[in-house]
Chain A
Amino acid sequence: MRPETETELAEMIRDASGPLRVRGGGTRAVGRSAGEVLETGAMSGIVLHEPGALTLVAKAGTPLAEIEAALEAEGQRLAFEPMDHRGLLGTDGAPTIGGVAAANVSGPRRVQAGACRDFMLGVRFVDGAGRVVSNGGRVMKNVTGYDLVKLMAGSWGTLGVMTEIAFKVLPKPAATATLVLAGLSPEEAVPVLSQALGSPFDVSGAAHLPEGPKGGPLTLVRIEGFADSVAYRGGRLSELFARHQPVVETDAARGAALWKAVRDVESFHGKPGDVWRISCTPSDAPALAARLGAEALVFDWGGGLIWALLPEGADARDRLGAGFRGHATAVRASGDLPTFQPEPAPVAALSAGLRARFDPKGLLNPGLMA
């Protein structure tokens, strides 16, 4: 199924008798789902871009590349820096903006600017009963009624199929610099990142690669803005971390390559095993990582996000232990463990209740989230 309009999509869902696998570009094949493929790619195109209002509205099937190009032309960007899952999941195809929203995909800048969900201003979607629903709008501040925009972000198509999304966009900075600290262990790196994020210097990326592009560990701190300001903050942060002899990378292409390596977890590409994504309290990260016994690790968000490569079938949640307060997602898994961290019973009941209301026939990606 490949509807071309929202109306056609609503009819298809109303007429559907069995499960549907909702798919944008098919690049984020996380978890298990069965059923007839429902593609959003024919509902495509930028509906509105008002640079002076920092707003962009696009149909859900619009290729991400098209949106990035339109923003680039106006010196703007999606500030949440959505990761590209293709290398990690071994998928191809073109990511769509709907897929980004449905999976609430963010990147390193999440720690400073916010997640995809924080930049979503409005949605239109068709729920599992074929009802067309609109929520939010295209203005930056909107508390009119319940925030179903947040509910749709990260719902992986299980509550409805998004057809149109409005985003807040931001200007691209004039300059970027990255402090590179070599040779630190996770136990040394996480406090450095925490100190950087707790500084007044508006750090927009804080990551640690135990295995950097050239093999050795790299700890990265990014600053962005006007040139003089970046130079000033880069200098202040270099003083702060002088004991680790930081090198400031100001070359745009080389800096971008480093952050892409973090964003897309490049050090895992092509390696066998299961990939887990762990959201945790940042200062817990080194101890949690030690408990995971992973074959490879990447730390982002100052330690608040751990990517772990585990042997096939290993249960990261089991290794993290009962006291773990956070969330572990099996992003690429071979076994039959639940994809998402199981929720406590009363919360699971609320989630199930919402699914029953929005998708009463259980058509949309059934079993993907629960």
Chain B
Amino acid sequence: MQMPEPDARVLSRKAEIVARLREVLPADAVIDDEAETRAYECDALTAYRCPPLCAVLPASTEEVSAVLTICHEEGVPVVPRGSGTSLAGGALPTADSVILGVARMNEVLETDYENRFIRVQTGRTNLSVTGAVEEEDFFYAPDPSSQLACAIAGNIAMNSGGAHCLKYGVTTNNLLGVTMVLMDGTVIELGGAHLDPGGLDLLGLVCGSEGQLGVVTEATLRILRKPEGARPVLIAFNSNEVAGECVSDIIKAGVLPVAIEFMDRPCIVACEAFAKAGYPDCEALLIVEVEGSEAEIAEQLGLITQIARRHDPVELREAQDADEAGRIWLGRKSAFGAMGQINDYMCLDGTIPVSALPQVLRRISELSREIGLEVANVFHAGDGNMHPLILFNANQPGELEKCEALGAEILKLCVEVGGCLTGEHGVGIEKRDLMSVQYAPADLEAQMAVKDVFDPGWLLNPAKVFPLAVSEARRAVAAE
């Protein structure tokens, strides 16, 4: 993965730039020691690493503004960073960039149950937002797998989803307002505790803009009352096609489960070996979860099992108690860890129309055989968001490249059947060069025009999202 050459002028002025940053931040909030900046050399896409010029850890919106003002004046690129859990390289630095980490901004600023919102600093982790409102039986709905570690800042940057977004939507559907600092240090507020303000929907534009339009320091998030209960059912099938049809039939029948998770044989085998969840020996497995009171759960599960039976399942296991529910989820939740035990893996994130599921799974297994790397599939089937995991050995020369080539083929397939490159992880650097597969030049031009307005100098996270060749002219002008 190519990154732009660092700006020699910036590199040569490192001492002056660091000194200016130290004037506006406490001493321990500016990290320029080479050994220490290594902590910021990559995010969860560990195949690519580069220590930044320095890292800063501001503790307030004012400090973020002061940092950005200096970087703007000095022409230094800034890479915002939440918790560094991006699988797409969204927080990967360049040697001439300042990493702006929001980790020290993790306060809850306001909780309002009457109006059902919470206002937090964006360094706060996703799970601890729910943690802050749990005692009143409320929760924050988006639940990315990394929710224990990932920050709200990163969730907003990537418009993160999770297993339960079939019912509750993704970050953009649960974000009411932000305080954001523009690259020139200007602080703006968008939205608030009220819904759908008039005017252009800049809040909707900022969510998912991968830290390229501004640094979001505070967020107002919608919180919801927890349902009375939830219960999963496990349904095993002898073919991917039949499992796919069952998903479609459940949705058509008017049941809206909170989650429909799908695992294929390679994934089931790996999870079983790792977590011993007691999964049946089968080709495809669905975990369908519904919510409500006991009676409501029973009613919905009754309908779902009735539909599932029409498709001749190998096994149908309804959780009788919390313990059994835990075991049904156990394998699924340990899928990534299980894969990590076997091998290095690359996790893809394309979305497809649900109707294309069987066709896409068949083609993926063909591609996997052609290229000679195994692929395990685990994904959110209700919304078509796939997570093919390509297994490879990073220590074997050439395997990473083979893996990336297979990944690219699978993502192109997703676009071909009417889907997209990324459903919830973001483009970052990982899918940057594939953007032209999904979007025509005019489509990318329109998106880049937005960045021109928010960040005319193209200093914020500049080498991400758009293919380097496509954004080159703009970045070159910025470097002048």
Asked if residues B353 and A55 are in contact (CB atoms below 8 Å), the reply is yes
Q: A143-B424, A198-B113 are in contact. Are A135 and B443 (CB under 8 A)?
A: yes
What does the 1/0 interface line of B239-282 toward A look like (CB < 8 Å)? Answer: 00000000011011111100000000000000000000000000
The interface residues of chain B lying within 8 Å CB-to-CB of A142 are 351, 420, 422-423
The interface residues of chain A lying within 8 Å CB-to-CB of B322 are none
Task: Indicate whether B407 reaches chain A with its CB closer than 8 angstroms.
Answer: no
Task: Indicate whether A110 reaches chain B with its CB closer than 8 angstroms.
Answer: yes
Task: Indicate whether B395 reaches chain A with its CB closer than 8 angstroms.
Answer: no
Task: Indicate whether B4 reaches chain A with its CB closer than 8 angstroms.
Answer: no
Complex formed: what's the CA distance from A353 to B453 in Å? 6
What does the 1/0 interface line of A121-142 toward B look like (CB < 8 Å)? Answer: 0000001000111110111111
Asked if residues B228 and A139 are in contact (CB atoms below 8 Å), the reply is no
Asked if residues B420 and A280 are in contact (CB atoms below 8 Å), the reply is no
The interface residues of chain B lying within 8 Å CB-to-CB of A114 are 169, 173
Chain B interface category by residue count: 35 or more
Task: Indicate whether A259 reaches chain B with its CB closer than 8 angstroms.
Answer: no
Task: Indicate whether B330 reaches chain A with its CB closer than 8 angstroms.
Answer: no
Asked if residues A153 and B201 are in contact (CB atoms below 8 Å), the reply is yes
Residue on A nearest B244 in the bound complex, by CB: A52
Task: Indicate whether B438 reaches chain A with its CB closer than 8 angstroms.
Answer: yes
Residue on B nearest A149 in the bound complex, by CB: B204
Residue on A nearest B452 in the bound complex, by CB: A357
Asked if residues B249 and A52 are in contact (CB atoms below 8 Å), the reply is yes
Which has the most chain B C-beta neighbours within 10 Å: A137, A143, A154, A357? Answer: A143
- Interface-side segment among A34-42, A63-71, A91-99, A336-344: A336-344
Asked if residues B254 and A305 are in contact (CB atoms below 8 Å), the reply is no
Asked if residues A133 and B296 are in contact (CB atoms below 8 Å), the reply is no
The interface residues of chain A lying within 8 Å CB-to-CB of B172 are 118, 147, 150
Q: A52-B354, A142-B423, A351-B200 are in contact. Are A147 and B205 (CB under 8 A)?
A: yes
Q: A139-B418, A226-B299 are in contact. Are A118 and B199 (CB under 8 A)?
A: no
| Partner among A50, A147, A154, A170 whose Cβ is within 8 Å of the Cβ of B355 | A50
Task: Indicate whether B114 reaches chain A with its CB closer than 8 angstroms.
Answer: yes
Asked if residues B454 and A140 are in contact (CB atoms below 8 Å), the reply is no
Complex formed: what's the CA distance from A110 to B435 in Å? 33
Which has the most chain B C-beta neighbours within 10 Å: A54, A149, A173, A326? Answer: A54
| Partner among A151, A198, A229, A283 whose Cβ is within 8 Å of the Cβ of B205 | A151
Task: Indicate whether B313 reaches chain A with its CB closer than 8 angstroms.
Answer: no
- Nearest-CB distance from B241 to chain A (Å)? 14
Asked if residues B292 and A229 are in contact (CB atoms below 8 Å), the reply is yes
Q: A135-B443, A200-B228, A229-B296 are in contact. Are A143 and B198 (CB under 8 A)?
A: no
The interface residues of chain A lying within 8 Å CB-to-CB of B201 are 104, 117, 150-151, 153-155
What does the 1/0 interface line of B155-190 toward A look like (CB < 8 Å)? Answer: 000110100011001101100000000100010111
Q: A52-B354, A53-B384, A200-B227 are in contact. Are A147 and B427 (CB under 8 A)?
A: no
Task: Indicate whether A346 reaches chain B with its CB closer than 8 angstroms.
Answer: yes
| Partner among B194, B383, B442 whose Cβ is within 8 Å of the Cβ of A132 | B442
- Nearest-CB distance from A29 to chain B (Å)? 16
Task: Indicate whether A172 reaches chain B with its CB closer than 8 angstroms.
Answer: yes
Asked if residues A134 and B440 are in contact (CB atoms below 8 Å), the reply is yes
Asked if residues A147 and B207 are in contact (CB atoms below 8 Å), the reply is yes
Complex formed: what's the CA distance from A199 to B115 in Å? 12
Q: A55-B353, A134-B443, A172-B254 are in contact. Are A151 and B200 (CB under 8 A)?
A: yes
- 8 sampled A-B residue pairs with Cβ under 8 A: A110-B196, A139-B385, A143-B425, A154-B201, A155-B200, A202-B292, A279-B198, A341-B199
Residues of B bordering A, CB below 8 Å: 113-116, 137-138, 158-159, 161, 165-166, 169-170, 172-173, 182, 186, 188-190, 192-205, 207-209, 225-228, 248-249, 251-256, 292-293, 295-296, 299-300, 303, 351-355, 380, 383-385, 418-427, 431, 435, 438-440, 442-447, 449-454, 465
A-B contact sample (10 more), CB < 8 A, given A143-B159, A154-B201, A228-B296: A53-B251, A117-B196, A139-B418, A141-B165, A144-B420, A147-B209, A171-B254, A229-B296, A344-B189, A358-B446
Residues of A bordering B, CB below 8 Å: 50-55, 74-75, 104, 106, 110-111, 114-115, 117-118, 127, 131-135, 137-151, 153-155, 159, 170-174, 191, 194, 197-200, 202, 225-226, 228-229, 232-233, 279-283, 301, 304-305, 325-327, 329, 339-341, 343-344, 346-347, 350-351, 353-354, 357-358, 369
